[in-house]
Amino acid sequence: MEDNKKIKKNTMFGTYEFPSYEEILDAYSREFSNYIQPKGNTIFGFWMQTIADLQFLQLELKGLTENYRIYPTERRVELKGDEDFIRLRIAHLEKVGDKPTLYSDIVDEFGDTNAYAFHNLYPYKGKFYPRVVRTLINAFQLNEDSIILDPFNGSGTATHESSLMGIKSVGVDVTPMGVMLSELKNDLLFIDERKLRFSVRDLIEIFQKIEKRQWEYSNPTIYKLMLAIYFDTIDAFARTSSYNRTGKTGLFIKKFNYIKECFEKTMKIKQKYGLKFIPARIVEGDILELKKFKEFEGKFDAVITSPPYYFSIDYVGKDKIAYDYLGIDMKKVESKYLGMKNNGELSRPYGKLPAKVAMYYEDLKKSIENIFWTLKPKGKLAIIVGDSTVGGRKIPTTMMTKNFCEEVGFKLEKLIFNPLLGARNRAIRGESIIICEKP
């Protein structure tokens, strides 16, 4: 009311004085927040957009407290429990008990809900959403005594998120590039800040040395970091003409500075919340030969993983620049890929499915058997898959995966479909998260 009066002030001519631009904005934003701001002291994160997000919130809350109620249309939650702990762990709420959650601080600091800490170090194909990993860790009630496995660890999203949450983990992947990136994300969490101090002149020199294949460095983390940034730079440069103005060296420096900023922001959050990061163990290996690691038998509390979407993504080809540089034979790496080594004998009929798809499924089933073997009784499995299209036909990977899980002895608990926004015309429109328990 008071505002109205202020806006309707008379001018010296007896007419109404127009409100200023600021006054209009102010009045609008107050009115607006009346409609869209959730009311309550435990509220949804603004990043919650889909029904799947609502299901994720429910999963998390179930793992973090026994007593909660979600009010979806009001975008708020009522809960009882250890609020401090929930605030540190939850990935879908902005405030708990009127105080910001750690996750909302992360989103504010990095300006993104997924590209935080070193998750965005390199654009590895088929990466997880870290938020989903965090959700599953909460849902499975994992803590500092638990240990997680990702046997298709790729660039190490699951292991990195576990490290950030102070939980032990092991990541296995068959590609040397994936292993290198996962190790890097791991090591950067523990590096001394002084090791990241480079002048523009230093960086130009490093770039030139890498170009001439003369790059050497005593610190292995910095050695690998510079290479990863170089590979990303060359790839981005080749694909996007708008980088022409920055030039390759300019882009390299920009990318290095971005990583340095990520380091500073991550350390700021670590300090603010007194977090304890835990390093992961990263292993180069083949899931089909997982039993070679005898110590993995019945060792893990949870497996959070995603097999290659072999038909839609060329994982190895994407990293051609890196493999050429490192002198790694891509064909050899590819031959170890799921569905590539199979000698053609099938254990069951696959109807009209193309032979290569059938071979892939044979290996997928064997992988799930091996995962089962690594878990403790009551251990949890979350496996994230998408249905790709082969020769114009959708292939039923989600249902096959679910069936394989049940066939090897898992109890199915939940299947959540997570649409990939804006993916209407893509080969993969969304992914499913299949959640199981080993009896």
Ligand X SMILES: C[S@@+](CC[C@H](N)C(=O)[O-])C[C@H]1O[C@@H](n2cnc3c(N)ncnc32)[C@H](O)[C@@H]1O
* Binding region for ligand X (CB under 6 A): 124, 126-128, 152, 154-155, 157, 172-175, 178, 286-288, 306-308, 315, 336-338
Q: In this structure, what DSSP letter does residue 396 have?
A: -
SS3 call for 129: coil
Tell the smallest beta-carbon distance from residue 185 to ligand X (Å): 10
127 or 376: whose CB is closer to ligand X? 127
Tell the smallest beta-carbon distance from residue 434 to ligand X (Å): 14
269 or 383: whose CB is closer to ligand X? 383
d(Cα 227, Cα 206) in Å, to the nearest integer?
10
Buried b (16+ CB within 10 A) or exposed e, 19-40: beeeeeeeeeeeeeeeeeebee
174 or 228: whose CB is closer to ligand X? 174
249 or 389: whose CB is closer to ligand X? 389
d(Cα 138, Cα 394) in Å, to the nearest integer?
33
Q: Residue with the closest Cβ to ligand X?
A: 154
120 or 246: whose CB is closer to ligand X? 120
User: Residue 182: exposed, middle, or buried by beta-carbon count in 10 A (0-12, 13-18, 19+)?
Assistant: buried
Tell the smallest beta-carbon distance from residue 255 to ligand X (Å): 18
Tell the smallest beta-carbon distance from residue 106 to ligand X (Å): 18
The 10 Å Cβ neighbour count of residue 97 is: 12
165 bridge partner residues:
none
In this structure, are residues 437 and 383 in contact, taking their beta carbons and an 8 Å threshold? no
Tell the smallest beta-carbon distance from residue 289 to ligand X (Å): 8
d(Cα 398, Cα 216) in Å, to the nearest integer?
45
d(Cα 280, Cα 187) in Å, to the nearest integer?
9
266 or 370: whose CB is closer to ligand X? 370
58 or 397: whose CB is closer to ligand X? 397
d(Cα 137, Cα 254) in Å, to the nearest integer?
33
22 or 329: whose CB is closer to ligand X? 329
Angle at 364 between CA 286 and CA 399, to 5 degrees: 155
Tell the smallest beta-carbon distance from residue 227 to ligand X (Å): 18
150 bridge partner residues:
171
d(Cα 335, Cα 248) in Å, to the nearest integer?
33
80 bridge partner residues:
67
Tell the smallest beta-carbon distance from residue 331 to ligand X (Å): 14
Tell the smallest beta-carbon distance from residue 337 to ligand X (Å): 4
Backbone angles phi, psi at 165, to 5 degrees: -90, 5
